[in-house]
Amino acid sequence: MARMATLLEASLKLVFAVGIRAALVVSGLFLLYVVIGISAVFLGWPALSYPIFSIEADPFFASGGAAVGLFIVQSSGAFVLYHILVGIEDDKSQLAILFGFISLGFGGALLRITLSQAIQVFLTLI
């Protein structure tokens, strides 16, 4: 039983590490897209065939938001499960789990808003 718990603990650490790194990379790219889009709107660059920053019409905005939400859910879910597995002993652990659940809710809400449109974009590409 101890070996299984050790394996689960190592797996959750790995999933968290991969998820947080991927979330940082995807969030950075998504933020770059937002900054470029805002600059394009203010500077009057050529208009696109779709309205920019529209969840229904902008495929990059919807798929970028869904990717950010997916990696946030992955990393925060692994973080919360890891802390529950190793135990909640002090106020720092309780605070860490509280913020883990908050980020899990944020990522889930972001997925709820953007995932259906991102799936439609992906299916049209296939």
Q: Is the pLDDT of residue 1 over 80?
A: no
Mean pLDDT for the stretch of residues 48-65: 86
**pLDDT computed for residue 5 by the predictor:** 81
Q: How far is CA 39 from CA 47, 97, 124, in A?
A: 12, 38, 28
**pLDDT computed for residue 28 by the predictor:** 96
DSSP secondary structure, the chain, as one string = -HHHHHHHHHHHHHHHHHHHHHHHHHHHHHHHHHHHHHHHHHHTPPPPSS-TT-TTT-HHHHHHHHHHHHHHHHHHHHHHHHHHHH---SHHHHHHHHHHHHHHHHHHHHHHHHHHHHHHHHHHH-
Q: Is the pLDDT of residue 86 over 80?
A: yes
Angle at 84 (CA atoms; ends 72, 70), nearest 5 degrees? 15
